[in-house]
């Protein structure tokens, strides 16, 4: 039994700072008059910035902390930075949204921060108990966030569905963990991999347990057939929350998938690989084809989110098949690129949808290219990036994933993925065509973008073009970060 040491604490400094600021926001709430709640939003944002800077103040030293339950490695730092960025963007996009719709409560900011803490722990932990705790911290916060528009039945329904199905899936995940613990006597991923690497250790029960754990994560990632909740929840949740929900927890669950499945890839044998392969193919196809049918922008982007999870799974399959870092780095690159374009798109839609989010049908965007050229241009860039047009981040994200899967010899899966991304162009461009080429008066809001949202959109655009025109730095970063410690 080791005592808590200073280096250990330093390794979870960002999480501590975030949690501290979240509590601070809650404590300040009673003292801030009703009209000035945005101060709390700025405090929360400050917390995210401070947490980000904590790395600079206290140069992190890689290693395990807290008896091997926290892995402070490039992998977790990459994800923590990603989560902090997503949280910052979501906070910037939420401040005016909450004011507009009269749901300005400090809990919102605190919940975003707590959820970020949970996601950071998911990415950083090398211990099933910690992963479970991180998962639950982030999930419980997002359940509430999804229902934050309390007076809107769609939001209630979204939160209820997310909550019921989320807890159901978590229960499966836990049941799997319990069995793994029972079969190996450990919940530490390093020990687990070592234990399972012994010959004869794999039994039917082990495999069943692994599948149960996969289900819990696949639910968060929203792969077919566990994607079923995604469209309803993303459509009903407040759009800035959807922005956060569709990128943060998804990336966190992928981080855990990479840690668990790559760690156990050798001993778990080819069948685990095929589970990922089938999930990837199904997820892409179902997501893209269902998106073709949609008439609601948020729901369409929800299906697109499913499809994108499929592309990331292709990268994971490539990583499992080849064992090289190429696949894992493509996964990391994709998650980051996807975060920027999706957060940007949902934040912009949150603004354009107008008070009470009344205007989210695709037809509401008719003629927006003339009425609000700036917003329409930004949305076009996000759509182009999502569809993977060159010189945007989305293109290189797909490019690296496809390249990794070709190099790993997964030709069939690559063909499915490429065909899918061709299909996807249709519904993304449909929105662009609606905005520019169709005649009519747009129903969407034409009020100018408030400054905080503006800066969030600008940052996302910058990141999209930076990754699209100058991908090499970031690719190097994701390659360096793609080797988890254990």
Partner 1 sequence: MMPIPPTWCVYLGTGLFTIGVIGVLTRRNVIIILMSIELILNAVNINLVAFSRYFGEVDGQIFAIFVITDAAAEAAVGLGLLIALFRNKETVNADEIDLLKW
Partner 2 sequence: MLERIWLIPLLPALGAAFQFFFGRKVKKSVVSLVSVGLPGVSFAWAIGCFFALLGRPEHLFTKVLYDWWPVGAFHLSSGAMGNLNVHVGFLLDPLSAVMMLVVTGVGFIIHVYSIGYMAHEGGYYRFFGYMNLFMFSMLVLVLSDNFLMMFVGWEGVGLCSYLLIGFFFHRRSASDAGKKAFVVNRIGDAAFLLGMMLIVVTFGTVNFQAVTEAARSGHYPILDPTITAICILLFIGAIGKSAQIPLYVWLPDAMEGPTPVSALIHAATMVTAGVYMVSRANALFMLAPAAMALVAGIGAATAFFAATIAITQNDIKRVLAYSTISQLGYMFTACGVGAFAAGIFHLMSHAFFKALLFLAAGSVIHALSGEQDMRKMGGLREKIPVTYWTYLIAALAISGIPPLSGFVSKDEILWQSYAGPHGHLVLWVAGWVTAGLTALYMFRQIYMTFHGTSRVEPEVEHHIHESPRSMLAALVTLAGLSVIGGFIGWPDLLGGSDRLGHFLDPVFENPVPVALKNYSAGREFDLMFLSVLIACTGIYVAYRIYVRRPEVADRVAKSFGPGYEILLNKYYVDELYDALFVNRVKNIGNAASGFDQYVVDGGVNGVGWTTRLTANLSRLWDLYVIDGAVNVAAFFTKLMSYPARVIQTGLVQSYAWLIVLGVLIFMGYYLVHF
Q: Given the complex with partner 2, which of 121 and 229 has the nearer CB atom?
A: 229
As a whole number of angstroms, the distance between CA 314 and CA 282 comes to: 11
CB of 444 to partner 1, least distance (A): 20
Query: Does 292 help bind partner 1 (rule: CB under 8 A)?
Result: no
* Best CA proximity match to 90, nearest among 135, 145, 130, 36: 145
By CB under 8 A, residue 1 contacts partner 1: no
* Selected binder of partner 2 within 79, 132, 229, 333 (CB under 8 A): 229
Least distance (Å) from partner 1 to the CB of residue 196? 16
Figure out which of the listed residues 232, 326, 357, 364 binds partner 2, where binding follows CB under 8 A: 232
Contact indicator for 210, 264 with CB cutoff of 8 Å = yes
Nearer to partner 2, 44 or 218 (CB): 218
Which member of 33, 153, 199, 200 binds partner 1 (CB under 8 A)?
Answer: 153
Half-sphere exposure of 345 (CA within 13 A, CB side): 31
CB of 330 to partner 2, least distance (A): 14
Binding mask 343-382 for partner 2 (x = CB under 8 A): ---------------------------x--xx--------
- 456: which 2 tokens? 């969030």
Q: Are 8 and 66 in contact (CB under 8 A)?
A: yes
Number of residues that bind partner 2 (CB under 8 A): 47
Pair type for strands 63-65 and 70-72: antiparallel
Site string for partner 1, 214-253 (x = CB under 8 A): -----------------xx--xx-----------------
* Residue 472 binding target from partner 1, partner 2, none, CB below 5 to 8 Å by type: partner 2
Q: Decide whether 114 or 143 has the Cβ nearer to partner 2.
A: 143
Q: Which stretch binds partner 1 (CB under 8 A): 183-191, 274-282, 407-415, 475-483?
A: 183-191
- Is residue 168 at the binding interface for partner 2, with CB under 8 A as the rule? yes
- Give whichever of 44 and 140 is closer to partner 1, judged by the CB atom: 140
Q: How many Å apart are CA 92 and CA 86, to the nearest integer?
A: 10
* From partner 2, partner 1, none, interface partner of 281 (C-beta below 5 to 8 A by class): none
Considering only 26, 49, 228, 477, the residue that binds partner 2 (CB under 8 A) is 228
Binding site for partner 1 (CB under 8 A): 129, 132-133, 136, 140, 143-144, 147, 150-154, 156-161, 163-164, 167-168, 171-172, 174-175, 177-179, 181-182, 185-187, 231-232, 235-236, 293
């Amino acid at each position: 039994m080791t005592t808590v040491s200073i280096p250990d604490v330093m390794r979870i400094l960002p999480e501590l700072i975030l949690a501290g600021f979240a509590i601070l926001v809650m404590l300040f709430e009673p003292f801030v008059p009703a009209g000035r709640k945005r101060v709390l939003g700025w405090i929360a944002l400050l917390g995210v910035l401070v947490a980000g800077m904590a790395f600079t103040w206290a140069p992190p030293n890689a290693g395990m902390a807290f008896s091997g339950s926290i892995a402070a490695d490039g992998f977790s730092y990459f994800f923590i930075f990603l989560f902090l960025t997503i949280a910052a963007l979501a906070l910037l996009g939420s401040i005016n949204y909450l004011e507009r719709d009269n749901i300005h409560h400090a809990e919102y900011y605190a919940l975003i921060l707590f959820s970020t803490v949970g996601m950071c722990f998911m990415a950083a932990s090398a211990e099933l108990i910690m992963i479970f705790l991180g998962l639950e911290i982030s999930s419980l916060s997002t359940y509430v966030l999804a229902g934050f528009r309390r007076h809107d039945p769609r939001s209630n329904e979204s939160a209820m569905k997310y909550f019921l199905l989320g807890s159901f899936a978590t229960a499966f995940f836990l049941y799997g963990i319990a069995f793994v613990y029972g079969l190996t006597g450990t919940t530490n991923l390093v020990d687990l991999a070592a234990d399972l690497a012994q010959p004869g250790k794999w039994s039917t029960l082990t495999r069943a347990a692994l599948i149960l754990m996969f289900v819990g994560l696949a639910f968060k990632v929203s792969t077919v057939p566990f994607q079923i909740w995604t469209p309803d929840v993303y459509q009903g949740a407040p759009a800035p929350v959807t922005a956060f929900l569709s990128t943060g927890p998804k990336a966190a669950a992928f981080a855990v998938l990479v840690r668990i499945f790559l760690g156990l890839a050798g001993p778990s044998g080819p069948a685990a690989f095929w589970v990922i392969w089938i999930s990837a193919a199904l997820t892409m196809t179902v997501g893209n084809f269902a998106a073709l049918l949609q008439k609601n922008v948020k729901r369409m982007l929800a299906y697109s989110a499913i499809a994108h999870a499929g592309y990331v799974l292709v990268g994971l399959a490539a990583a499992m098949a080849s064992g090289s870092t190429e696949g894992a780095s493509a996964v990391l690159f994709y998650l980051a690129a996807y975060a920027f374009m999706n957060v940007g798109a949902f934040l912009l839609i949150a603004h354009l949808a107008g008070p009470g989010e009344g205007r989210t049908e695709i037809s509401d965007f008719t003629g927006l290219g003339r009425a609000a050229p700036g917003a329409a241009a930004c949305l076009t860039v996000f759509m182009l990036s999502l569809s993977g047009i060159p010189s945007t981040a989305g293109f290189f994200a797909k490019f690296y994933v496809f390249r990794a899967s070709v190099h790993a010899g997964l030709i069939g899966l690559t063909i499915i993925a490429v065909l899918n991304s061709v299909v996807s162009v249709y519904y993304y461009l449909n929105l662009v065509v609606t905005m520019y080429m169709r005649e009519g008066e747009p129903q969407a809001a034409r009020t100018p973008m408030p400054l905080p949202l503006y800066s969030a959109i600008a940052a996302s655009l910058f990141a999209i073009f930076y990754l699209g025109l100058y991908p090499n730095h970031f690719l190097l970063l994701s390659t360096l970060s793609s080797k988890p410690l254990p």
